[in-house]
Amino acid sequence: MKVYGITVSYYTGKLEAYLRYKGIGYGMASPYADAKRIREETGAIQVPMVLRDDGRWMSDTTPIIQQLEKEHPAPAVMPADPVVRFIALLIEDYGDEWLWRPAMHYRWSYEHDRALLSRILVDELMGFMKLPRFMKLMLIKRRQRIGFVVRDGVTAETRSHVEGSYRNALANMTAMLKNRPYLLGETPSIADFGMMGPMLRHFGQDPTPAEIMRNTAPAVYEWVARVWNAHAMAGKPAFVDDVPPEAADMLKEIAETHLVQLAINAESYGCGLKHFDMAVQGTHYKRLPVSRYRVWCLEKLRETFAALRPDEQQRVRTLLPYPATEILWHETMAIRSGYDEERKAPFNKAINVYGTGVPR
């Protein structure tokens, strides 16, 4: 298969880590080498997009991985225990959608990081533009910072909290990795690949967050290399039979941040709003863009929870005893996104997360 991605991309790194682990062969190509055709085929240029040998296109890393798991089931990355699997998917969604903000902030708010990454992106993506290189650098710095930092609520008032989200993720992962090589067992699960999105190509490589990781969370730095170098072995995957106690702080953080954002975003979408304000852990974010895609993310989590047996649902409630987690099961949060109603993902037409036309 051919992966249309970027070498410093959040989600391209997540998918590549999975493909490497499963031993699924792939080649890389620039998404802008044939942008018009790719947009027609996939609906939106949001890396990575995958062109299969059979001519079908796939987009969105979570459905892509779930599809490939059907085709390459052994060894599985989805834990067999339904509750552990649900928690693994919740951690993946947190890595995908909450840690995005601090990842973009560190990359585009700090001058050294911004200078380095703008050079990389200009060289990879903007060769077709007939402009002097210094102008391309100016354009991409401005575009990325405005689109992914300023418009996503990072201000002087919220900056400390945004950076705290990263440090909390490092501390919580360090606790979970103390007794095992991967977050939920002896082999990597979907939770590990979800967290590789921010941790590999952003926090683990961009100068400022990478230094923080090396100095304050070397176990996470080691985990990044371990997941990247992991290879599927014959035999049964070794996941925990129950969610370990050391995951409690991670789950509390997810409940207090990611699930709060998902709830307010969905409510705002249901009211037809384009922006919303939210208070998270005492910090006030203003005029965040409403995301239809994140309404769909919440739909999928709720569907997964609803499919659990009553005793399994109770186990989840015991693990997530926080008010915000009620959005996972409360009937008032049954807000539909209208996205992928025909259940074709990852073969459906994708939508932009913010509707801005800016690739993730």
CA–CA distance, 352 with 108 (Å, rounded to integer): 20
Q: What is the mean pLDDT of residues 67-91?
A: 96
Q: What is the pLDDT of residue 59?
A: 95
Give percent of the chain above pLDDT 70: 98
Q: Nearest CA to 35 among 4, 1, 2, 3? A: 4
- b/e map of 302-322 (b: 16 or more CB within 10 Å)? bebbeebeeebbebbeebbee
CA–CA distance, 146 with 189 (Å, rounded to integer): 34
CA–CA distance, 142 with 155 (Å, rounded to integer): 16
Give percent of the chain above pLDDT 90: 85
Model confidence pLDDT, tens digit, residues 100-132: 999 999 999 999 999 999 999 998 887 777 888
Model confidence pLDDT, tens digit, residues 207-248: 999 999 999 999 999 999 999 999 987 667 799 999 999 999
Q: Are 171 and 217 in contact (CB under 8 A)?
A: yes
Tracing tokens 């979907």 back to the chain, one arrives at 190
Q: What is the pLDDT of residue 359?
A: 33
> What would the DSSP string read from start to end of 112-167?
HHHHHHHHHHHHHH-TTS-S-HHHHHHHHHHHHHHHHTGGGT--TTTHHHHHHHHH
Q: What is the pLDDT of residue 356?
A: 34
Q: What is the pLDDT of residue 357?
A: 31
Contacts of 161 (CB under 8 A, 6+ apart): 280, 281, 283
> What would the DSSP string read from start to end of 305-322?
HHTS-HHHHHHHHHH--S
**Chain mean pLDDT for the chain:** 94
Model confidence pLDDT, tens digit, residues 18-76: 999 999 999 999 888 778 888 899 988 889 999 999 999 999 999 999 999 999 999 99
Phi, psi of 57 (to 5 degrees): -105, 145
**CATH ID of 2-102+158-333, from 1.10.357.10, 1.20.1050.130, 3.40.228.10, 3.40.630.40:** 1.20.1050.130
The residue extents of the domains of the chain are 2-102+158-333, 103-152
pTM over 0.75: yes
Q: What is the pLDDT of residue 354?
A: 64
CA–CA distance, 345 with 113 (Å, rounded to integer): 34
